[in-house]
Amino acid sequence: MSGRSSAGVRSASATLVAVSDISTTGTDAARTVNAVKVYGKGDTAVTALDGISVEFGRGEFTAIMGPSGSGKSTLLHCLAGLDTLTSGEIFIGDTELGSLSEKNLTLLRRERVGFIFQAYNLVPTLNAEDNITLPLAIAGRKADPEAFDDVVDSMKLRERLSHRPAELSGGQQQRVAAARALVSRPEIIFADEPTGNLDSKSGLELLAFMRKAVDEKNQTIVMVTHDPGGASHADRVVFLGDGKVVHEVTEPTTEAVFEVMKSLGN
């Protein structure tokens, strides 16, 4: 799998780059340093993230797991610049999100990050093609024709481009959402339970597409999932508990993930 096999290549090339290039060639696509998130104040305060330091390597597919309420969504949202930390730091490349103005944070979300949500979040009045290119259109950019063709064919959406979301199956809608995230080749894609609404066959197809994007395009993906089978497609699984990283598994199998969940009382 590319994340593991390319590690040596990454570190070798890292020694050759100029300091100014590090934001696009450093080893980590994203990382957190002692990330703390507290919701509310006083007696009702809830610590959702309790000092998390974790790195996500370039070209790696990481799954985040843990029981409900352990902080998975909060971590993903803070990493993606959709929510802010109470203290600590989050980096996308070498950009620290807390140092950005609202405008620059919006630009970072638009230009450098992709999202795949459980609920697809497609625009119902636009056909599949226009949904895929919408973020680029908003940014005033055109899709690179080669990248568009590549993602449409790998997601098997060629015959569906003129269809609106209501005319597509759940699996097809989520593939459109994945294509929308992939087409601009963002530095990192965050996926929040992307298979949560899919039947098992469509879920497996989507996971295989995501795996392919990592293996063939060196895409970085961070995915929250409840499903040990889904997590087994990743290079690494990070387990959260009570807002902390409590365990990690590399080269996960479904059985290994299941065993860890059992031992953690999930």
Q: Using the rule CB under 6 A, is 73 a contact of ligand ADP?
A: yes
Long-range contacts: 244-253, Cβ < 8 Å, 24+?
Answer: 244/50, 244/51, 244/52, 245/52, 245/53, 245/54, 246/66, 250/4, 251/4, 252/63
Q: What is the Cα–Cα distance from 39 to 242, expressed in whole angstroms?
A: 14
Q: Using the rule CB under 6 A, is 68 a contact of ligand ADP?
A: yes
Of 76-95, binders to ligand ADP (CB under 6 A) are: none
Q: Using the rule CB under 6 A, is 46 a contact of ligand ADP?
A: yes
From 2-10, 39-47, 108-116, 157-165, span contacting ligand ADP (CB under 6 A): 39-47
Which residue number, 70 or 172, has a Cβ lying nearer to ligand ADP? 70
Q: Which amino acid is at 18?
A: A
Out of 15, 16, 40, 140, the residue judged to bind ligand ADP by CB under 6 A: 40
CB of 217 to ligand ADP, least distance (A): 28
Q: What is the Cα–Cα distance from 71 to 93, expressed in whole angstroms?
A: 22
Region of residue 71 (phi > 0: left; psi between -120 and 50: alpha; otherwise: beta)? left
Q: Using the rule CB under 6 A, is 39 a contact of ligand ADP?
A: yes
CB of 75 to ligand ADP, least distance (A): 7
Size of the site for ligand ADP (CB under 6 A): 12
CB of 80 to ligand ADP, least distance (A): 13
Strands 95-96 and 87-92: antiparallel
Q: In what order do the strands lie in the sheet with 244-250?
A: 113-117, 188-192, 221-224, 61-65, 236-241, 244-250
CB of 137 to ligand ADP, least distance (A): 31
Out of 3, 57, 66, 252, the residue judged to bind ligand ADP by CB under 6 A: 66
Which residue number, 46 or 208, has a Cβ lying nearer to ligand ADP? 46
From 2-10, 65-73, 128-136, 152-160, span contacting ligand ADP (CB under 6 A): 65-73
Q: Helix, strand, or coil here: 138?
A: helix
Could you tell me which of 96, 87, 86, 56 has the C-alpha nearest to residue 189? 56
Q: Using the rule CB under 6 A, is 69 a contact of ligand ADP?
A: yes
Q: What is the Cα–Cα distance from 198 to 212, expressed in whole angstroms?
A: 19
Binding site for ligand ADP (CB under 6 A): 39-40, 46, 48, 66, 68-74
